[in-house]
Amino acid sequence: MSDNRVWTLRAYPEGLDFPSAIFLDRQAMPVPAEGQVTIAADWLSLDAGTRMWMTPRTDSYQPPIPLGSAVPGQVLGRVLESRAPGFAPGDLVRAFGQWADVSCVDPLTSGLTKLDATVTDPRLHLGPLGMNGWTALVGIEEMARTQPGETVLVSAAAGATGMLAAQIARVLGARVIGIAGGPTKCAFLIDELGLDAAIDHRDPDVEAAIARAAPDGINVYFENVGGPLLDAVLSNMAHYGRIAICGLMANYAQAQPGPQRFDQILARRLQVTGFFSPDFAHRGPELTARLRGWTDAGKLVTPFDETAGLENVLSAYARLFTGANIGKVVVRVS
């Protein structure tokens, strides 16, 4: 490999027009400095939350990506060269690197982690055994404090984090309703994941559909979307319900206005908690151990929406926002 293909952010995208803002460049192959590691990517994890980084907004949990920089993202692959203790060429690792053939990372700041190579499908380290799984578990169990017998509603339930949150809620003994887009996804939630009910967010009256599915109210809402959907849920929450917010896919590019039904938070005595995976990344081994047990037992199912070729990253990334995917979106680099 004589040079390194790298996706570079040259402008902040308008809407879903990623090809006008992000370009595939060729650069010299990176050489690790003392304390650094280079990783040859096998897969890239594509995650909707990175869309917020592709804006000039400074009020997010992550600073905006500087224009002219490589687009960051999670990488799964093998160590090429290591000048950092604890990592050797050939190690299977995961880190926050770049959308590139080869990423050069600092182990501490990138979260570089040596992975269990005995996992049958390495991609699981980017889904249930990685940040999607951690977010789902912490959100359902700790932020929302889900109890057996409660009714849990999950938005974007056919996406990587949502489907894990829904399945974990079932493992914990809850009645689970998923929201997704279209009859195919709704059928998947019931037939493949075993959810108790599914609601199509394209229904002309989602608020009424939620009321029919949960006549006694929603105890826990795992929020991935925001926007008008949140309003439809607020009026259906049970008293003393909990809302755990880990995503706002309705519009990451701009600040979202507050919900019109904000008064229901007071009227129904709701607790609303926002959280991000960096808050508990240090607990990765502990969380992964629990998720591995459920995964191996067949209690957590994650299909992969895989696109081949680094050159096709932008079309794969757009699938997150058009609703084309079911499950975890990844790109097979090599």
Q: 200-217: per-residue pLDDT in tens?
A: 999 999 999 999 999 999
Q: Give residue 214's pLDDT.
A: 98
Tell me whether residue 297 is in a domain.
Answer: no
Nearest-angstrom CA–CA distance, 57 and 53: 8
One domain for residues 203 and 264: yes
Q: 263-299: per-residue pLDDT in tens?
A: 999 999 999 999 999 899 999 999 999 999 999 999 9
Q: Give residue 1's pLDDT.
A: 55
Tell me whether residue 47 is in a domain.
Answer: yes
Tell me whether residue 284 is in a domain.
Answer: no
Give the pLDDT mean for 72-96.
98
One domain for residues 115 and 149: no
One domain for residues 99 and 177: no
Confidence category of residue 257, pLDDT binned at 50, 70, 90: confident
Q: What is the residue whose two structure tokens read 């508990």?
A: 280
Percent of the chain with pLDDT over 90: 92
Domain extent for 210: 131-278
Q: 11-34: per-residue pLDDT in tens?
A: 999 999 999 999 999 999 999 999
Q: 41-79: per-residue pLDDT in tens?
A: 999 999 998 999 999 988 878 899 999 999 999 999 999
Position 35: which residue type?
Answer: G
One domain for residues 69 and 150: no
Q: Quick count: other Cβ atoms within 10 Å of Cβ 12?
A: 16
Position 96: which residue type?
Answer: F
Count of domains for the chain: 2
One domain for residues 118 and 153: no
Q: 225-253: per-residue pLDDT in tens?
A: 999 999 999 999 999 999 999 998 887 77
One domain for residues 165 and 116: no
Q: Under the phi-then-psi rule, with left for phi > 0, alpha for psi from -120 to 50, and beta for the rest, what region is 206? A: alpha
Q: Quick count: other Cβ atoms within 10 Å of Cβ 27?
A: 14
CB 219 within 8 A of CB 150: yes
Tell me whether residue 292 is in a domain.
Answer: no
Q: Give residue 60's pLDDT.
A: 79
Q: φ, ψ for residue 156 (rounded to 5)?
A: 50, 45
Give the pLDDT mean for 152-169.
98
3-state secondary structure of 328: strand
Spatial strand order of the sheet with 151-154 comes to 197-200, 175-180, 151-154, 218-223, 237-245, 271-274
- Check which CATH number belongs to the domain holding 327 and give it: 3.90.180.10
Q: Give residue 184's pLDDT.
A: 97
Nearest-angstrom CA–CA distance, 200 and 180: 5
One domain for residues 11 and 28: yes
| Structure token digits, residue 77 | 């692959």
Q: Give residue 334's pLDDT.
A: 78
Instruction: Identify how many contiguous H helices and E strands the chain contains and give both numbers.
Output: 9, 16
Tell me whether residue 285 is in a domain.
Answer: no
Q: Give residue 59's pLDDT.
A: 84
Nearest-angstrom CA–CA distance, 146 and 152: 8
Nearest-angstrom CA–CA distance, 247 and 155: 10
Tell me whether residue 283 is in a domain.
Answer: no
- Say how many CA atoms lie within 13 Å of 300 toward its Cβ: 30
One domain for residues 265 and 138: yes
Q: φ, ψ for residue 271 (rounded to 5)?
A: -115, 125
- Check which CATH number belongs to the domain holding 207 and give it: 3.40.50.720
One domain for residues 139 and 92: no
Q: Give residue 321's pLDDT.
A: 93
Q: Is the pLDDT of residue 107 over 90?
A: yes
| DSSP annotation string for 253-278 | SSPPPPPTTTHHHHHTT-EEEE--GG
- Say how many CA atoms lie within 13 Å of 156 toward its Cβ: 28
One domain for residues 118 and 139: no
Give the pLDDT mean for 145-151.
98
One domain for residues 66 and 155: no
Tell me whether residue 287 is in a domain.
Answer: no
One domain for residues 166 and 219: yes
Q: Is the pLDDT of residue 102 over 80?
A: yes
Q: Give residue 57's pLDDT.
A: 86
Tell me whether residue 288 is in a domain.
Answer: no
